[in-house]
Amino acid sequence: MKRLPPQPDEWIDRSRTLDFRFEGRAVNGFAGDTLASALLAAGEAFLGRSFKYHRPRSVLSLANHDVNALMQVTHKGHSRPNVRADVTPLAGGEVVTAVNTFGGLAADKGRFLDRLGAFLPVGFYYKAFYSKRWFPYWERMFRFMTGLGRVDVAAPRVRTPKRYAFCDVLVVGGGPSGLAAALAAADAGAKVVLVDENQQVGGSGLFALGADAAQHKQMNELVLAIRSNRRIEVMTGCFASGYYTDHWVPIVTPTCIVKMRAAAVVLAGGAYEQPAVFRNNDLPGVMLGSAAQRLIHRYAVKPCERAVVFAGNDDAYRVAADLAAVGVVIAAIVDLRPAAPNSVPAGVEVRRGMAVVEALADRRGLLRGVRIATPAADGTWDHAATEEIACDGLMVSVGFAPALALAYQAGARMRFDMQTQQFVPATLPDGLFVCGRANGIHTLPLKLADGAEAGAAAAAVAHGLAPHPRAAMIETAQPSHPYPIFEHPRGRNFVDFDEDLQLKDFFNAAQEGYDNIELLKRFSTVGMGPSQGKHSNMNAIRILAKIRGEPVEKVGTTTSRPMFHPVPMAHLAGRAFQVERSTPLHARHVAAGAVWMPAGQWQRPEYYAVAGLRREAAITAEVVAVREAAGLIDVGTLGKIEVYGPDAALFLERVYTGRFANLKVGMTRYGLMVDESAVVIDDGVIARLSEEHFYFTTTTSGSATVYRELTRWNTIWGLNVGITNLTGHLAAMNLAGPAARRILKTLTDGNLSDALFPYLGAREMRVAGVAARLLRVGFVGELGYELHMAADCAPHVWDALTSAGKPFGMRPFGVEAQRLLRLEKGHVIIGQDTDGLTNPLEASMQWAVKMDKPFFVGQRSLQILAKQPLRQKLVGFVLADDATGVPKECHLVIEAGAIAGRVTSIAHSPTLKRVIGMALIAPELATPGRSLKIRIDGALEIEAVVTDLPFYDKDGGRQRIADGVDMLGEAA
């Protein structure tokens, strides 16, 4: 092929030459070329190798389903697989090779597979190579052969500016009917977005010209009207990748996805020209008529010198006219129809009622001619009576398949229209309209009228009006031949070019019983390749209909799913937002050398790194500080909820298992929460700040869900309470340790005396000048104050405490030390010492459950469970001092060779100088003094002994330290 002199509407810019490399050779094209048009213009005969047989291939459609011209494109340092040469604009400077070759396009070692063809029938791999012994080897070979392009594992992460957009009417497709629709909708006052995957609008109106000057003029005027209409936004080089619920259509642009929410959608995607099925219909030089027209009018590339046009419709004659107009000799028009149209170009031989049954290749594998014969309706033909016609180009125009994928996804019902031999919409969902070829309308004036009606109707819907009924267009043309499919004893008559499926493969599949369209698709993989059946599904349906002796409509179609064209993951991912939360003290932790651990959306300090100390040592130091002096931990991630009102106490009695009606003002109490099936889901500390005002905490992970569920319950109960979630607006920190009170004293005028602020008390006072709520709690088992204050003031308080604590040896401590401290104290962590099915009886928390209340969530289920034997029980244990190993959390408790439970928490206690832990075990083992066997990593079994909880300070004296009494260790 070679470049033509300038064409009226050509897309190329001859003033800008772009150089690139293809298969190691230097090539150049023009700006506006696609990779394929540039390569063809440069005389490249082969663009790729086929998927299975590695046959040389070139362009088929030039319409974004030339899957045999997929390229590996290396540009600006990294490489992209499966780039579609037929539509990808030439950038200049790229290095291009065909995918799926072994040793290059020309010398591809894979080509021997073409000769093996006979031994590789459809689904051949199902019938062979499955011996257990050999399959792995065979699979490795198979995986080596398959897979098209290569992934460049050094390629960078690409983040794209994905965005939302809104319009009244979205028109998909910028051909004649789409342009008419956009214009009509805009004239009706709608804000219109018009999307076309081509680089310029106009569609077939500007390439399927048939050298018709009037059409050319009319179309250019229409395009001008669109361009100059301020209500219409035109997006070219973009495609709608799918239709999702409520007119939600992602538009894939070269750089990102635009998520379009439209009030109404017009689908004007046109139709895909379909190949005829005959031997060697995949030879380079054989292409669809529309591909030849695109080459001529868009890229000024001469498709061949001497052409045969294979006709099944009148479009073929326009193809011939366009070819002739650029100096291509028309060797013949081979028309399947006995009666050809009136307008036959002068001097062109038309062979009526005949078919191309074989394309003939020369030594280099290029088209040298065609064999034609007179076919019967079933695709058979008289092998004795054939003749050859020499040509270097064969243009096939025998039929179309509508681009209805988005309509299917929207839930449209289709019917098969006999006149046009295609599926057309029968019923469409509200606000969705289809026009043009996709609607079975093929001739230009009708397409324009059909589009205008669809556009007006869409605008009406967008404005909330009833769409006026659309007049039924009557298409008199017959654009699609019912069966352009011709058997050949030597096969190589391809139906699916992606998957290298031949006609006989379908008969074989049906023979095996895969004879409904879905099974056929799955067994043969027809339409499963990158082109998603755009050129193969329609012929597959026709073939199956013939096999089953049923009408095409009964055979039906397979379901259509996004993506319409494949979409890069980076486009879908966008910027990939990652929600992260941080407490007001985050910067303080960074400054203090925090080592972070994730906790849901939060990052929390696991511990604070100390120069010269290993992780364990640093954690131990934090534990020791809390036990012997003081420690400060950020507990701001806890949920913080406030309940006000006359019914506040009643409300808490319903949502927690414990009793709160009798909780004294100024005091706190532990609260346990279960769900309706009595599974433990959350816990916290409830403070009563006044008769009708409670303030309480939830677990870190529970904060959002607990608040949500509490408000839902009260929506049902309608109690007179106000519930507020303060989680993010308040900060919280726990100051704990024997020195806690003395440290705090230096920062507040409030009375901290044990008499006025006893253990479990709750007070409000200023700390470092900041109004704060103080809860005297003992989670870590020492004298402790949980300080809650306004988030914006928290860093100030933290700083003040940090300097006030220095003289006392106070340290900040992290989650890991807290875990250890609470374990010494025998306090449960919901979600670690319990799992998704643990109830309070199993968790040994009956003490926190008041069954004699009138009602609480989960109470009724607990009554049922109370009647049943326990399934497991949470206990404490210690390892024998001479234990030869230390188990980890979730190591199993083994009794008589059977699993009898698991370790939920375990650690070496720096305070008790031994390994302590908790375990959920079989109740019969849960007696203090009972010895347990804990299995480590499926092997060694370690002895442990069940003990009462807590391990540390059993009478809780340390939490209750009275004033003046100095229990500070030497550390102070």
Site for another protein in 875-894 (CB under 8 A): 888-892, 894
Residues 267, 316, 689, 919: which binds another protein (CB under 8 A)? Answer: 689
Q: Which CB atom, from 470 or from 581, has the smaller least distance to another protein?
A: 581
- Which residues in the 62-101 window bind another protein by CB under 8 A? 80-82
Q: Does 163 contact another protein by CB under 8 A?
A: yes
Q: Does 769 contact another protein by CB under 8 A?
A: yes
What does the block give as tokens for 251?
Answer: 């538009």
Q: Does 851 contact another protein by CB under 8 A?
A: no
- Which residues in the 819-848 window bind another protein by CB under 8 A? 831-832, 835-837
Rounded Cα–Cα distance for residues 393 and 858 (Å): 79
What does the block give as tokens for 419?
Answer: 């006149």
Q: Which CB atom, from 19 or from 799, has the smaller least distance to another protein?
A: 799
What Cα–Cα distance (Å) separates residue 326 from each residue in 290, 304, 306, 334, 811?
15, 10, 11, 20, 87
- Which residues in the 902-931 window bind another protein by CB under 8 A? 902
Q: Does 104 contact another protein by CB under 8 A?
A: no
What Cα–Cα distance (Å) separates residue 1 from each residue in 271, 392, 947?
26, 10, 89
The number of beta carbons lying within 10 Å of the beta carbon of residue 372 is: 23
Q: Does 109 contact another protein by CB under 8 A?
A: no
- Interacting stretch for another protein, rule CB under 8 A, among 15-23, 57-65, 159-167, 358-366? 159-167
**Cross-strand pairs, 917:** 877, 906
- Minimum CB–partner distance for residue 799 and another protein (Å): 6
Q: Does 802 contact another protein by CB under 8 A?
A: no
Q: Does 853 contact another protein by CB under 8 A?
A: no
Residues 109, 413, 729, 806: which binds another protein (CB under 8 A)? Answer: 729
What are φ and ψ of residue 275, in 5° steps?
Answer: -75, 155
Residues 353, 568, 758, 928: which binds another protein (CB under 8 A)? Answer: 568
Residues 587, 756, 851, 880: which binds another protein (CB under 8 A)? Answer: 587
- Interacting stretch for another protein, rule CB under 8 A, among 32-40, 340-348, 704-712, 925-933? 704-712
List CB contacts of 184: < 8 A, sequence separation 6 or more.
451, 452, 453, 454, 455, 456, 459
- Which residues in the 493-532 window bind another protein by CB under 8 A? 512-514, 516, 518-519, 522-523, 530, 532
Rounded Cα–Cα distance for residues 787 and 82 (Å): 60
Q: Which CB atom, from 98 or from 323, has the smaller least distance to another protein?
A: 98
What are φ and ψ of residue 411, in 5° steps?
Answer: 95, 20
Q: Which CB atom, from 691 or from 963, has the smaller least distance to another protein?
A: 691
End-to-end CA distance of the chain: 92
Q: Does 129 contact another protein by CB under 8 A?
A: yes
Residues 154, 214, 385, 755: which binds another protein (CB under 8 A)? Answer: 154
Rounded Cα–Cα distance for residues 239 and 274 (Å): 21
Rounded Cα–Cα distance for residues 53 and 66 (Å): 16
- Examine residue 869 and say whether the peptide bond preceding it is cis (omega within 30 degrees of 0): no
What does the block give as tokens for 709?
Answer: 């569920």
Residues 117, 861, 908, 930: which binds another protein (CB under 8 A)? Answer: 861
- Which residues in the 707-726 window bind another protein by CB under 8 A? 708, 711-712, 715-716, 718, 720, 722, 724-726
- Minimum CB–partner distance for residue 831 and another protein (Å): 6
Rounded Cα–Cα distance for residues 350 and 348 (Å): 6
Amino acid (1-letter code) at residue 143: R
- Minimum CB–partner distance for residue 161 and another protein (Å): 6
**Cross-strand pairs, 369:** 360, 390
Q: Does 250 contact another protein by CB under 8 A?
A: yes
Residues touching another protein, count (CB under 8 A): 146
Q: Which CB atom, from 213 or from 855, has the smaller least distance to another protein?
A: 855
Rounded Cα–Cα distance for residues 266 and 454 (Å): 7
Closest to 545 measured CA to CA, from 407, 421, 424? 421
- Minimum CB–partner distance for residue 460 and another protein (Å): 19
Q: Does 616 contact another protein by CB under 8 A?
A: no
- Which residues in the 32-51 window bind another protein by CB under 8 A? none
Q: Does 131 contact another protein by CB under 8 A?
A: yes
Residues 341, 728, 885, 923: which binds another protein (CB under 8 A)? Answer: 728
- Which residues in the 536-565 window bind another protein by CB under 8 A? 561-563
Residues 54, 318, 586, 811: which binds another protein (CB under 8 A)? Answer: 586
What Cα–Cα distance (Å) separates residue 92 from each residue in 11, 13, 15, 739?
16, 13, 14, 73
- Which residues in the 176-235 window bind another protein by CB under 8 A? none
- How big is the CA angle at 87 (ends 82 and 93), to the nearest 5 degrees? 75
List CB contacts of 141: < 8 A, sequence separation 6 or more.
none
- Interacting stretch for another protein, rule CB under 8 A, among 105-113, 199-207, 280-288, 676-684? 676-684
What is the DSSP pairing of strand 248-252 with strand 811-812? unpaired
Closest to 637 measured CA to CA, from 689, 682, 585? 585
What does the block give as tokens for 396?
Answer: 């096939």
